[in-house]
Amino acid sequence: MSKNILVASFLWGMSTLIWADDITLGMTTALTGSSAALGNNMRAGVESYFNYINQQGGV
């Protein structure tokens, strides 16, 4: 019985993700310090790709 509840909870949680108006993503990277240049370039690349996807209509 508890296994069925766990599966149902998982599926309900997934359905709220699929139907969400906004999808929030996160990224861990260095934005300060000695690795800031690498981290800021990674951030710029991610933002550029997200902008491209959103211009195509999003996901």
Query: Model confidence over 31-48: pLDDT tens digits?
Result: 999 999 999 999 999 999
Q: How many domains are there within the chain?
A: 1
In a domain, 43, yes or no: yes
- The domain in which residue 55 lies consists of 22-59
CA 46/CA 18 separation, integer angstroms = 22
11 within a domain of the structure (yes/no): no
For 4-36, the pLDDT digits (tens) are 666 666 666 655 556 667 778 888 999 999 999
Spatial CA neighbour of 43 closest among 56, 59, 32 = 32
CB-facing half-sphere around the CA of 38: CA atoms within 13 A:
6
- Compute, in degrees rounded to 10, the torsion defined by CA atoms 5, 26, 22, 56: -120
Read off the pTM: 0.59
Residue 37 located in a structural domain: yes
40: Cβ contacts below 8 Å, ≥ 6 apart: 31
